[in-house]
């Protein structure tokens, strides 16, 4: 080897030694939009700064089909996925998700009970309730009984075109106590009772299918009231529209972090879940978007203007009913079939 070749080889080896170590990559799939923007600011970028991994962020519509293909074939390109409670229950039962090792999630003791399950760790809490436009409605509704009152509140009202939550709201309007809604809905008589109640206002219902529709209709005066998601109403308020949500008799549910079965980064995904469950990171998230932190200590030291509009704010949470995803796992198919047939009848 010539002297020039030796020098060249030496320089090459020096360059190799000083090349940066390639960081691990963690692929996280969420529902996109404003939620993903908040996730990036509160979780993804801070996690990357720890040096643990580079986050590859993607989005999907919540469909389990692609996750099933990955889990069944072993060709897994997603690591962590955001799931609503119903999808989590179905995915876990079908064996599409990894079982979490809760011993590695130190924040567990401070998480709300609904955030802890076999396959998922709650990341946010959202609520669905009665929304109204205070500039267009002189009298403020206080319950689902008011929503059903066509005399005191004449006009169209919006409801989601789905049996999920709509049947619960109907039973609440009919006087069923919050703690007996799912017990009642588990009986044939209770289901009949919910549909009979819906019959009373069917001609006044404007059905929505996209989460953005209720606030658009309320702003335009197309409906006097509508069921709606709290985050959407908060977004409208930030845009200067005087919409409000009635927390009394609202229904809440969680979105969860879940690890796709067969992920090669299961340990790293567990580390991310622990990181995202910490108080400081969940506080950043709550400041970004109006969904409740699952670590209840994260409510501490948040400005009252922010915390009071979150589903996990104590005064809001004590008036709400938790969505029973186990019930819907067992009954969704039959009730959606009956509901869709009822809508077109």
Residues 6+ apart with CB under 8 A from 140: 132, 134, 244, 246
Angle at which helices 266-276 and 279-288 pack, to 10 degrees? 70
CA-to-CA dists, residue 81 to 63, 88, 113, 231, 274, angstroms: 11, 10, 20, 20, 15
64: its two tokens: 């389990």
Interatomic CA distance for residues 331 and 183, integer angstroms: 13
Looking at residue 150, its pLDDT comes to 97
Residues 6+ apart with CB under 8 A from 200: 148
CA 85, 79, 102: angle at the middle one, nearest 5? 60
Interatomic CA distance for residues 157 and 149, integer angstroms: 11
Task: Report the SS3 class of residue 113.
Answer: helix
pLDDT (tens, 9 = 90+) of the chain, 345 residues, equals: 565 555 544 544 444 444 444 579 999 999 988 889 999 999 999 999 999 999 999 999 898 999 999 999 999 999 999 999 999 999 999 999 999 999 999 999 999 999 999 999 999 999 999 999 999 998 999 999 999 999 999 999 999 999 999 999 999 999 999 999 999 999 999 999 999 999 999 999 999 998 889 999 999 999 999 999 998 899 899 899 999 999 999 999 999 999 999 999 999 999 999 999 999 999 999 999 999 999 999 999 899 999 999 999 999 999 999 999 999 999 999 999 999 999 999
Domains in the chain (CATH in brackets) are 12-125+254-312 (3.40.190.10), 126-253+321-344 (3.40.190.10)
Residues 6+ apart with CB under 8 A from 312: 112, 125, 292, 293, 294, 296, 299
342: its two tokens: 């009822």
């Amino acid at each position: 080897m010539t002297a020039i070749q030796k020098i060249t080889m030496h320089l090459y080896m020096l360059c190799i030694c000083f090349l940066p170590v390639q960081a691990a990559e963690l692929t996280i799939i969420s529902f996109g939009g404003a939620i993903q923007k908040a996730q990036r600011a509160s979780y993804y970028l801070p996690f990357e700064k720890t040096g643990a991994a580079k986050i590859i962020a993607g989005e999907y519509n919540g469909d389990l089909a692609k996750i099933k293909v990955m889990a069944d074939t072993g060709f897994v390109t997603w690591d962590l996925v955001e799931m609503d409670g119903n999808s989590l229950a179905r995915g876990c039962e079908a064996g599409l998700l990894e079982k979490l090792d809760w011993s590695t999630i130190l924040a567990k003791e401070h998480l709300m009970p609904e955030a802890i399950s076999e396959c998922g760790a709650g990341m946010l809490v959202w609520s669905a309730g009665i929304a109204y436009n205070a500039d267009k409605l002189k009298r403020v509704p206080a319950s689902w009984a008011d929503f059903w009152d066509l005399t005191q509140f004449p006009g169209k009202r919006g409801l989601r075109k789905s049996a999920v939550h709509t049947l619960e709201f109907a039973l609440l309007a009919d006087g069923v106590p919050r703690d007996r809604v799912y017990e009642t809905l588990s009986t044939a008589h209770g289901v009949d009772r919910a549909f009979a109640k819906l019959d009373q206002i069917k001609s006044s219902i404007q059905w929505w299918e996209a989460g953005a529709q209720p606030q658009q209709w309320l702003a335009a005066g197309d409906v006097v009231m509508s069921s709606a998601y709290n985050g959407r109403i908060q977004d409208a308020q930030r845009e200067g529209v005087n919409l409000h949500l009635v927390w009394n008799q609202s229904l809440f549910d969680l979105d969860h972090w879940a690890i796709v079965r067969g992920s090669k980064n299961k340990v790293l995904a567990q580390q991310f879940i622990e990181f995202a469950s910490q108080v400081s990171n969940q506080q950043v998230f709550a400041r970004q978007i109006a969904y409740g932190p699952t670590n209840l200590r994260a409510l501490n030291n948040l400005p009252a203007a922010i915390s009071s509009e979150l589903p996990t704010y104590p005064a809001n949470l004590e008036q709400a009913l938790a969505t029973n995803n186990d019930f819907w796992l067992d009954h969704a198919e039959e009730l959606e079939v009956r509901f869709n047939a009822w809508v077109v009848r």
